[in-house]
Amino acid sequence: MAALVSLGLFTHRAMAQDGQPTPGPAGQHDADSEEQMQALLSQLEALKASYAQEVRRLRELDMQVQALQSRLGGRVAAMPAAQAPAAQAAAAVAAPSPPADAVAAGNVESAGQAGTAQEAEQARSQALRSVEDVKQQQSALFNRRLSVEAGLSYARYDRKQLTLNGFLALDAIFLGNIGIENVESDSATLSLAARWGLTPRLTLNAEVPWIERKTVYQKGGAGGSAAAIAQESSSGGGLGDMSLSANVKLFAERERWPETVLTAGITAPTGREPYGVDWKVIERDDDDFIRFAVPGRQPTGNGVWQANVGLSMVKTADPAILFANVGYIYSRRASFDDLDSNPDTINPGDVKLGNVFYAGAGLAFAFNERTSLSLSYSGRFSARAKTRYRGGEWMKVIGSDGNAGTLNLGMTYAINRRATLVTQLGVGLSPDAPDFSLTFKLPYAF
C-alpha cells in the first residue's frame, strides 16, 4: 500500500513538471509492439527477397549439375521413375511453403526457367541438343536406339590440261599442235543410312548410296587443227558401293580427355566397276591410233572390297566443340575380265588400288539449343594404284595417286526433338579434290 502511494506521488510530480499527462503502462506497451511489428515486417521483406534469389540460384545450379553429369556420363542421366515421386515428396516435406509474395516474385523474375523436375530435364536436353547433333556427324551418338538418315550431295569437278605436241625451234618458237583437254563432271549421290545402338558403347551403321554422274570431255586440236575442239559427254547412274561399320566408344568425355570412338567397317563392290567399260571412239588416226575416246557409261563404284579403321575424338569447351579424326582404308586386290580401254581388244588382269590415309580436324560453335556452325579441314592421301595383265608384271598407274584437301563449312539445325537438318559446303583446296561440294542430311531418331 505504501508503494502504491509513493508511485502515485511520483507520477503526480512528473505531470506537474512536464505540464502534460504521462502515458501509463498500457500506452507504453502499444508503442513497443508497433516498433517490434515494423522490425518484423522489415525482416520479412528482406527474407522474401533473399528467398526468391536463392530459389533462382538453386534452379540454375541444378541445371548446371545435371548438364555436367550427362556430359561426364556420355548420355543423358535421368532419375529413375520409382525414385522421382519419393524425392519430390521428401523435398516437399522438408522445405516449408514459401510466402505468396516470394513465390510471385520468383515466378516473375525466373520466367522461362525450369520450375519442375520435368521442365528442368527438358531445358537441359534442349541445351545439349546442338552438342549431340555435332557428335552425331563427327562420330556417333550412343543414347539413341535407332536413327535413319537421308542424304543428298552434289559435287563438281573441272579439270583442264594443256597438251603440246611438237618441239621448240631456236628455244623460242613452238612448232606443232597445241591441244587443250577439259573434263567437267557433275555427280549427285542420294544415300540412305541407318544406325542402331545395341549398347551404350556400341552402334552399328549401314549405308546404301545411289549415284548419278554426267561427264563432259573436251579435246583441242581435233583433226590436226589447233583451233578445232571436239566435245562428247557420257552419263550413267545406279547403285553405289554399300558399306557396313561399327562404332565403339573407347573413352567417355572427361575434364581433360575427349570422347574417343573407334570405327571399323567394310565397303562391298556393289556398284558398277570402272573396268571393262565399252569406250566410244571419237577420233582415230590413219594408223588406228585412238586420239580421242570416251567411256560409254559412267562407273558408280570402285569394283574392289575395302576395309577401313578410324579414330574420332570430340571435346566440348563451351561454347565451342572441338573434333578430329584419323583413319586408314585398305583396298583388296581384284581380278577383272578386261582392263584395256581399247574397245577392239580384251586384256584380263588384276587391279590393286592404292590405300588411303585420311585425317581431319575442326571446331563447331553451339549458338543456342537448336543451331550450331562448324568449320573443318579434311584431307585424303591416296597411294598409286597398280595393274597387272594376266601373265605380266605389276605396273604402277601414273597419275593415280592423289592429295585431296577440302575446307568444310557446316551448319546443323534441330527441326524438332527427333529430326535435324545438316548442311555442309566443301571447297576444294587441291587439284585432286572436287571444286566444291554441297551436302544435305536429315537424320531422324526414333
Domain CATH for 323: 2.40.160.40
Strand partners, 423: 411, 440
Q: What is the largest CA-CA distance in the chain?
A: 154
pLDDT at residue 426 in the model? 96
Whole-number Å distance between alpha carbons of 231 and 283? 11
Which is nearest to 275 in space by CA: 362, 333, 351, 370? 351
Q: Which of 66-80, 201-215, 258-272, 332-346 has the lowest mean pLDDT?
A: 66-80
The 10s digit of each residue's pLDDT in 136-165 is 776 666 777 889 999 999 999 887 655 444
Query: For 151, what's the count of Cα atoms within 13 Å in the CB-facing half-sphere?
Result: 22
pLDDT at residue 66 in the model? 73
| 299 confidence band (pLDDT: 50, 70, 90) | confident
| 285 confidence band (pLDDT: 50, 70, 90) | low
Whole-number Å distance between alpha carbons of 391 and 381? 31
CA geometry: angle at 173 spanning 172 and 178, to 5°?
120
Q: Is 10 helix (H, G, I), strand (E, B) or coil?
A: helix
Whole-number Å distance between alpha carbons of 382 and 331? 11
The answer to whether the Cα torsion of 439, 363, 407, 249 is positive or negative is: negative
Whole-model pTM: value is 0.66
Q: Is the pLDDT of residue 289 over 50?
A: yes
The 10s digit of each residue's pLDDT in 158-187 is 876 554 444 445 545 544 444 557 788 899
- 421 falls within a domain: yes
DSSP 121: H
% of residues, the chain, pLDDT over 90: 31
| 39 confidence band (pLDDT: 50, 70, 90) | confident
> Could you list the residue range(s) of the whole structural domain that residue 320 is in?
125-148+186-212+238-445
Query: For 443, what's the count of Cα atoms within 13 Å in the CB-facing half-sphere?
Result: 24
pLDDT at residue 398 in the model? 84
- 23 falls within a domain: no
Q: 340 or 246, which is more confident?
A: 246
Q: What is the dihedral of CA 129, 135, 137, 141, to 10 degrees?
A: -90
Pull the grid cell for residue 432: 585432286
Q: Work out the average pLDDT over 347-363.
A: 92
- 94 falls within a domain: no
| 439 confidence band (pLDDT: 50, 70, 90) | very high
- 273 falls within a domain: yes
Pull the grid cell for residue 291: 586420239
The 10s digit of each residue's pLDDT in 188-234 is 999 999 999 888 899 999 999 999 999 888 877 655 555 567 788 88
- 75 falls within a domain: no
φ/ψ of 73, rounded to 5, equals -80, -15
Whole-number Å distance between alpha carbons of 333 and 336? 10
For 18-72, give the DSSP string: HSSPPP-HHHHHHHHHHHHHHHHHHHHHHHHHHHHHHHHHHHHHHHHHHHHHHHH
The 10s digit of each residue's pLDDT in 402-417 is 899 999 999 999 898 8
> Please, which residues have CB within 8 angstroms of residue 151's CB and are 6 or more apart in sequence?
189, 190, 191, 192, 193, 439, 440, 441, 442
Q: Is the pLDDT of residue 30 over 80?
A: no
- Is the previous residue joined to 319 through a cis bond, with omega within 30 degrees of 0? yes
Pull the grid cell for residue 316: 566440348
Q: Which of 27-41, 103-117, 373-387, 404-418 has the lowest mean pLDDT?
A: 103-117
Whole-number Å distance between alpha carbons of 232 and 253? 54
Q: Is the pLDDT of residue 423 over 90?
A: yes
- 109 falls within a domain: no
Q: What's the structural domain count of the chain?
A: 1
- 376 falls within a domain: yes
Contact between 174 and 183 (Cβ < 8 Å): no
Q: Is the pLDDT of residue 359 over 80?
A: yes
One-letter amino acid of 49: A
- 162 falls within a domain: no
Q: Is the pLDDT of residue 44 over 60?
A: yes
Q: 303 or 129, which is more confident?
A: 303
Whole-number Å distance between alpha carbons of 377 and 394? 35
